[in-house]
Amino acid sequence: MKIHQISVEEALESLNSGFDGLSPHEAVRRLDEYGPNRLEEARGQPLWLEFIKEFTHFFALILWLAAALAFFAESQQPGGNMSTLGYAILGVIVVNGLFSFWQQYRAERAIAALQKLLPHYVKAVRNGSIGLITAADLAPGDVICLQEGDNVPADCRLLDAFSLRVNNATVTGESLPQARDASPSAEEDLIHSRNILLAGTTVVAGEGRAVVFATGLHTEFGKIAHLTQTAGDTTFPLQKEITRLSRFVALLAVFLGAVFFFIGQGMGLAFWDSFIFAIGIIVANVPEGLLPTVTLSLAMATQRMAHRNALIRHLASVEALGSATVICTDKTGTLTENRMEAKSLYFNRSFLTPAEARSRRPIAKEYRRLFENALLCHNLKETMSNGRLQLLGDPMEIALVRMAKTCLGETVSYPKINEVPFDTDRKRLSTIHQTPAGQVLYCKGALEVLLQRCSHCQLDGDVRAISDEIKKDFIQAQETMAGQGLRVLAFAWRDLENIHGGEAMERDMILGGLVGLEDPPRPEVPEAIRKCRQAGIKVIMVTGDHPHTALAIGRQIGLIEAEHPVIITGERLRKLSETQLRLALDASDVIFARVGADQKMRIVSALKKKKEIVAVTGDGVNDAPALKMADIGIAMGIAGTDVAKESADMVLLDDNFASIVAAVEEGRAVYDNIRKFLTYILASNIPEIVPYLAFSLVKIPLPLTVIQILAVDLGTDMVPALGLGADKPAAGNMSKPPRPAREKLIDVRLLVRSYLFLGVIEAAAAMSAYFFVLYQGGWQWGESLAKEETLYLQATTACLSAIIVMQIVNVFLCQSPERSVFHRGLFDNKMILWGVVLEIALILMIDYTPWGNLIFGTAPLGLSAWLFMVPFALGLLLLEEGRKWLKFRLVMRQNRKVVRDAYPTK
């Protein structure tokens, strides 16, 4: 038999303990055997290894290689400014590595948050005496005393309880406080047993004694912690794409470098000249500015999302959210407000809202006893906070008191002289008060119980005997309320007169009416659910609450539209095979209710195996493992536990499900924006490579030096690229489905547009400007030029300047791969404008300042060279606009064909 299924005496005997607790000696012995009552951190990688990993991922290795090659080239041909390039690349590696490590370090502190939920001290019975000991010193068999406001320090079996209620929301997800007593339980599941107190939960009312049977990682709380630790880190889609991009860039750069090394050898160049030439090709093909641009773009997106109440903890998760195809959401505190509210009243054979009852004050006065009952029959405590009186205790009772004050329009205070406490067998609470008319017993509880103890009811302001018809009406009213997802309580009372105690006090009572309470949905949630449907995102409710409550809330918010949705309880989920679970997840409307932490992880795992991009919301300790396993975990910022926040990738600062939709919109924009600035950055690679091709194939002076390539990649291109990364979401962003999982960040379309179209046009402009300056200066074909010669410096300056002029036009063209630049306002993105201003300032400083000329090997250009570049810039604009127009026409023609095929004319 399990400990919750046996008697108190048998439970103590099974633990070799007694009501007097353990002896100090035995407690120490058990502490040595079972270990301290704390959560030991699972062994992970040491901090120094995590630090090193940030500098050794694939793209970092490419940059290390590029830097090494730059330093090697400098050693072979000193004075070529290759060492400057090497130091610049090292700077990129260091800045990105330190920034990423700091993000990772902050994200790995879930254990500290878990420890905060456990109490530091507890009242324990040792040798019959009660004393304070640290929670870490508890051992199995210890007897502890708990009262209202205490956190439960370990898994315990109750020995006795007096009106004890606990809030299990942080472990089980149940929104309502649960009554607990010491009687043996028939429940198979220990978590839901009425005589069990779980570590990490809170006592909200009453008091009791319990014997500890599990500590540390052996508790249910500890098992959740272990799941959180061992769930493993998620590799975000963007991280996979960056790795793929890194490999592509590395292979392309090395391939081209090798090809041009052999070309140089075939042309009769010396070995070292060919090798240095190959290094230049490799460096020209490595977009050194890509990694910092991606990192900074994501960081800026997190700032925008913070303004929309979504705090991002892991940068790569920004884009992952935009790719989400499924959101698994908790109910309590996520879809609902996590507070009880009286929603409906039933008396005088009619339903009223509390507001209607107040507006009909004569009716409220006729049923005064009912509202006095709601106002007085409770175990709440009053306290002063910030100069205001506040109630502490069961949220349901707080909601009833507020409702009663609303309906009565006043506060009634009669001294409480006795109480018959609530328990799960009685299913009712009674309090006795001294009123001006004498002692009155007020009772509230389950209707089926009170109907057995009421002989009369209040109807039309009078007290009448309860008939079978009246009983039937009350039962029907209860079923109506329950069908709306309300928790229903019945209220009754009686004058005690000469009755002084015993069972007789709770007989022959007068039934007053019913009150239905709910945890109301957030008002913004229905619209958020609608937007998720429009965006092709499936929303699945996963909650620890009762399935009827979950279904009712689901229908209220528009989450459930099917007449017969699939509802899977935790008990049923345990019986489903992996295949059955995946098939169940294919249903359009699915609800999971009464599920545990490991089951939530199983749901997430099944969805991921179905190739879904899964976002999971939650606020409790029980949500932490699933939050960590999901592609992106979303925790509640206000109601969420520290554990959930530390395990999540994103925290909703306002606990508003609607904020997720705004975050998804931003996440989708991030992916689109990364493609925009990839197109922008990669387009400049071609005009950086072509000069080396011309140098090797047609024997001309090198039109562009490596340090000038660096000026573009890590200088002029950076801020405009960031501006593209900060572009606002495009119109219709949320009206299309999530991007297919097979769609890559860099695909053939992007490469063709950037390399073979935009890049080719820019290369033509750069080389034309180079030759224009040379021929204008009197250069003859085949003539060699010294590196220090003014004409050569001016020609390379013209090549560099032409690339930058073309990139100024290109940044506006890259804002949309389909829409015309004239359909967007020039001032929509101020960062791009500032980037262009900075770009112009940088090229002017490089061209016209002594230090710019010295560092980058440039010389001032005349006006004719700049005027020569203008037609190429206009040509780039017109050709790209023409491409977009032709694409638009092609799409329109295809759409018309689809319509004709679907609706053929006779």
Helix then strand count (H, E) for the chain reads: 35, 26
Measured CA to CA, the distance from residue 461 to residue 203 in angstroms comes to 40
Measured CA to CA, the distance from residue 311 to residue 548 in angstroms comes to 33
Range 585-590 contact pairs with CB under 8 angstroms and sequence separation of 24 or more? 585/540, 585/610, 587/562, 588/538, 588/561, 588/562, 589/554, 589/559, 589/560, 589/561, 589/562, 589/565, 590/540, 590/541, 590/565, 590/566
Number of Cβ atoms within 10 Å of the Cβ of 497:
8
Beta bridge partners of 435: 438
Cβ(541)–Cβ(591) below 8 Å:
yes
With H, G, I as helix, E, B as strand and everything else as coil, classify residue 415: coil
Measured CA to CA, the distance from residue 670 to residue 668 in angstroms comes to 5
Cβ(443)–Cβ(430) below 8 Å:
yes
For 797-872, strand residue ranges (E) read none
Orientation of helix 759-776 relative to helix 657-683, angle to 10°: 40
Measured CA to CA, the distance from residue 489 to residue 827 in angstroms comes to 60
Measured CA to CA, the distance from residue 422 to residue 420 in angstroms comes to 7
Residue type, 103: Q
Look up residue 255 and give its two tokens: 């391939």
Say which of 330, 545, 619, 713 is annotated catalytic: 330
Measured CA to CA, the distance from residue 275 to residue 761 in angstroms comes to 29
Q: What is the 3 state secondary structure string of 128-140?
A: CEEEEEEHHHCCC
Measured CA to CA, the distance from residue 487 to residue 396 in angstroms comes to 9
495 is catalytic: no
Torsion of CA 866, 868, 869, 874, to 10 degrees: 120
Measured CA to CA, the distance from residue 562 to residue 492 in angstroms comes to 39
Catalytic residues: 330
